[in-house]
């Protein structure tokens, strides 16, 4: 796992976005797995601006949503697909057929199997956040390195943290669906994103600790093309 660190949050977002624009310029049909949450917001803002300047286009790209909360209404603003649409896709010319998301209105196991098949040999590039317990996507501690797209139970800390997306402290989702660690590891490139002092401890553990399912992010060290992008605050213990 290669570490790329930037001095500030703005410099970090500029770095990641610049490299992503390069990938899109080189491969307009890029197959990308994208996360939601707060960490990628400045990247998506800059990517949207780059598309507006015609420095890049997602017109021919394919986007896979990394994960989704279960048991919430399709219109809930805290759903991952709604967050990604609001934060990026609605601002760009991404044809609906090229956005793969989870339909959880029917058989969840069947939907996960279909999603795994759609990912196939893997994405060209996968962007990931990292949870304070080392989760990637909704792959919580204990996730197998060969795990596939599946339904998962969320750790208590993940449930609590989700309140920021749903703007409520009650009736929060306790399960979700996620690309598995094995699914992620089929990607040709993996970018792990971390910012702020609250991520310093888990970044240090991910980089320097044991490679173990107890810290799912550490499993990415087995991949030959993983980059960890941090600002100085998140890299304090790296």
Instruction: Please give the positions annotated as active site.
Output: 67, 133, 135, 140
The enclosing H or E element of 211 equals: none
Q: Can you read off the two tokens belonging to residue 135?
A: 């989760």
CB atoms inside a 10 Å sphere around CB 76: 15
Rounded Cα distance between 167 and 199, Å, is 22
The residue whose two tokens read 């990607």 is: 187
Q: Exposed, middle or buried by CB within 10 Å (0-12, 13-18, 19+), for 29? A: exposed
- CA dist 111 and 162 (Å) reads 23
Contact call for residues 69 and 79 (beta carbons, < 8 A): yes
Q: What DSSP designation does 139 have?
A: B
Name which of 97, 153, 161 is nearest 129 in CA terms.
Answer: 161
Taking a C-beta distance cutoff of 8 angstroms, is the pair 135, 162 a contact?
no
β-partners of residue 226 are 190
């Amino acid at each position: 796992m290669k570490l790329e660190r930037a001095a500030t949050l703005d410099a970090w977002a500029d770095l990641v976005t610049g490299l992503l624009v390069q990938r899109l310029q080189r491969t307009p049909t890029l197959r990308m797995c994208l996360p939601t949450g707060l960490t990628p917001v400045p990247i998506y803002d800059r990517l949207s601006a780059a598309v507006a300047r015609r420095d890049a286009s997602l017109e021919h790209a394919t986007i896979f949503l990394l994960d989704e909360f279960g048991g919430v209404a399709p219109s809930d603003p805290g759903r991952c697909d709604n967050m990604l649409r609001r934060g990026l896709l609605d601002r760009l010319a991404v044809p609906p057929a090229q956005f793969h998301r989870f339909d959880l209105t029917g058989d969840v196991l069947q939907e996960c199997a279909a999603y795994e098949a759609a990912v196939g040999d893997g994405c060209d590039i996968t962007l990931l956040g990292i949870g304070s317990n080392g989760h990637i996507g909704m792959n919580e501690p204990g996730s197998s390195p060969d795990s596939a797209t599946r339904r998962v139970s969320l750790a208590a800390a993940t449930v609590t943290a989700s309140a920021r997306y749903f703007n409520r402290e009650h009736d929060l989702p306790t399960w979700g669906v996620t690309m598995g660690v094995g699914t992620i590891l089929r990607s040709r490139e993996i970018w792990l994103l971390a910012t702020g002092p609250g991520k310093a401890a888990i970044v240090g553990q991910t980089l320097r600790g044991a490679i173990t399912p107890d810290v799912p992010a550490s499993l990415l060290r087995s991949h030959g093309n993983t980059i960890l992008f941090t600002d100085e605050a998140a890299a304090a213990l790296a």
